[in-house]
């Protein structure tokens, strides 16, 4: 008997899709001893017959809900990146898609390749193979147009520290060509979420880690981007702001925007994401539909799953 490697449901012989969760399945050829960690964890026993193949358009193969009427905001196909010719691949064959109104989380341990994937997506790093499209624009060919549709927050919260918070936000608004009246209104909205307060008039060099993070987030949202990319967004935030940011993320995608973020915080990922892309040693090892998993098993424990996955690898 074959089981779906995502929801654990029973599959019919020669089935291409799981009838329960729509997951694409294919017979495994390369590794007869493959043990799907999720299946093993869920107690369905050995399932050497199935795995996910990520060649080509992942959306077509994985059979996820297509978000009818929603467009692709990000499409990453076969991304390969290494830092030098002698070095190992930092990212190898990563492919995933993010649709309008979706939150996608990149999950992996330190050095797994999450930040590198995000930096390639943001256009900060060149990559060796593959294709990245944001709002239909190729990041390599139409970089400026692609970047105009996204806002980003880096893991090191780099800003121009000799500017005041206000000057920095104004600078970002200038770069994204936000009209004067709109930027004042948006700043007020963002201030309600992040509550930076009076220090917005101080030099960023005097900010604490958390305050720098807030100003980075505010700067990245001033043009209300279609795609918001965050690298480890919750690290260093106080619990109140963390809660406010999570609420804001839900509201933001409800307006038809999309968010991609990387994190170690498994519970945050579980709470926020629609889908999770699991990356290990630069390789995409799994892609989980969080809502469907919870629908199939409300007691699903992400942390335990992640740890077991790591251990078995």
126 contributes a contact to other proteins by CB under 8 A: yes
| The only residue of 53, 93, 167, 224 in contact with other proteins, by rule CB under 8 A | 167
Judged by CB under 8 A, the stretch of 61-69, 91-99, 160-168, 284-292 that binds other proteins is 160-168
| The only residue of 61, 75, 170, 268 in contact with other proteins, by rule CB under 8 A | 170
The C-alpha atoms of residue 163 and residue 207 are separated, in whole angstroms, by: 11
Nearer to other proteins among residue 121 and residue 253 (C-beta): 121
The C-alpha atoms of residue 131 and residue 21 are separated, in whole angstroms, by: 28
- Name which of 31, 75, 72, 76 is nearest 51 in CA terms: 31
- Give the list of residues 6+ apart from residue 199 with CB closer than 8 angstroms, or none: 165, 206, 207, 211
Judged by CB under 8 A, the stretch of 12-20, 23-31, 202-210, 289-297 that binds other proteins is 202-210
Provide the token pair at 57.
Answer: 């358009």
Nearer to other proteins among residue 60 and residue 201 (C-beta): 201
Determine whether 299 is exposed, middle or buried from the number of CB atoms within 10 Å of its CB (0-12, 13-18, 19+): exposed
69 to 88, contacts with other proteins by CB under 8 A? 83
In whole angstroms, the minimum distance from the beta carbon of 163 to other proteins comes to: 6
| The only residue of 38, 96, 176, 194 in contact with other proteins, by rule CB under 8 A | 176
Question: x/- binding map, residues 103-122, to other proteins, per CB under 8 A?
Answer: ----------------x--x
The C-alpha atoms of residue 150 and residue 136 are separated, in whole angstroms, by: 12
Backbone angles phi, psi at 66, to 5 degrees: -85, 0
What angle do helix axes 180-194 and 209-221 make, rounded to 10 degrees? 140
Nearer to other proteins among residue 8 and residue 123 (C-beta): 123
In whole angstroms, the minimum distance from the beta carbon of 124 to other proteins comes to: 5
The C-alpha atoms of residue 81 and residue 87 are separated, in whole angstroms, by: 10
* Ramachandran quadrant class, 154 (left: phi over 0; alpha: psi -120 to 50; beta: rest): beta
| The only residue of 6, 133, 183, 226 in contact with other proteins, by rule CB under 8 A | 183
Nearer to other proteins among residue 104 and residue 187 (C-beta): 187
| The only residue of 20, 70, 129, 145 in contact with other proteins, by rule CB under 8 A | 145
In whole angstroms, the minimum distance from the beta carbon of 83 to other proteins comes to: 7
The C-alpha atoms of residue 191 and residue 184 are separated, in whole angstroms, by: 11
- Name which of 202, 181, 180, 199 is nearest 191 in CA terms: 199
45 to 64, contacts with other proteins by CB under 8 A? none
* Positions that interact with other proteins (CB under 8 A): 83, 119, 122-126, 140, 143-145, 147-148, 150, 152, 154, 156, 158-164, 166-167, 169-180, 183-184, 187, 198-199, 201-203, 205-208
């Amino acid at each position: 008997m074959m089981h779906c490697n995502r929801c654990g449901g029973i599959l019919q012989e020669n089935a291409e899709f799981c009838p329960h969760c729509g997951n694409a399945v294919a017979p495994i050829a390369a590794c007869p001893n493959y043990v799907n960690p999720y299946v093993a964890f869920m107690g369905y026993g050995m399932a050497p017959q199935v795995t996910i193949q990520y060649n080509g358009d992942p959306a077509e193969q994985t059979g996820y809900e297509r978000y009818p009427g929603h467009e692709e905001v990000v499409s990453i196909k076969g991304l390969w990146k290494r830092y030098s010719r002698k070095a190992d691949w930092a990212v190898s064959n990563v492919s995933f898609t993010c649709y309008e109104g979706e939150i996608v989380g990149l999950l992996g341990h330190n050095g797994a390749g999450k930040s590198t994937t995000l930096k390639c997506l943001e256009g900060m790093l060149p990559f060796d193979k593959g294709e990245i499209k944001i709002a239909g624009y190729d990041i390599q060919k139409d970089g400026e147009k692609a970047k105009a549709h996204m806002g980003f927050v880096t893991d090191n919260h780099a800003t121009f520290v000799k500017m005041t918070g206000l000057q920095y936000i104004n600078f970002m608004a200038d770069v994204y060509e936000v009209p004067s009246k709109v930027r004042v209104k948006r700043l007020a909205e963002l201030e309600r979420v992040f509550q930076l307060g009076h220090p917005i008039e101080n030099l960023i060099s005097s900010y604490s880690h958390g305050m720098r993070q807030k100003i980075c987030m505010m700067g990245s949202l001033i043009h209300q981007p279609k795609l918001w990319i965050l690298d480890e967004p919750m690290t260093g935030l106080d619990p109140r702001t963390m809660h406010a940011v999570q609420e804001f993320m839900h509201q933001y995608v409800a307006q038809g925007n999309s968010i991609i973020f990387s994190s170690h915080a498994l519970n945050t990922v579980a709470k926020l994401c629609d889908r999770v892309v699991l990356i290990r040693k630069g390789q995409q090892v799994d892609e989980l539909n969080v809502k469907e998993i919870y629908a199939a098993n409300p007691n699903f424990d992400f942390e335990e799953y992640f740890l077991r996955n790591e251990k078995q690898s």
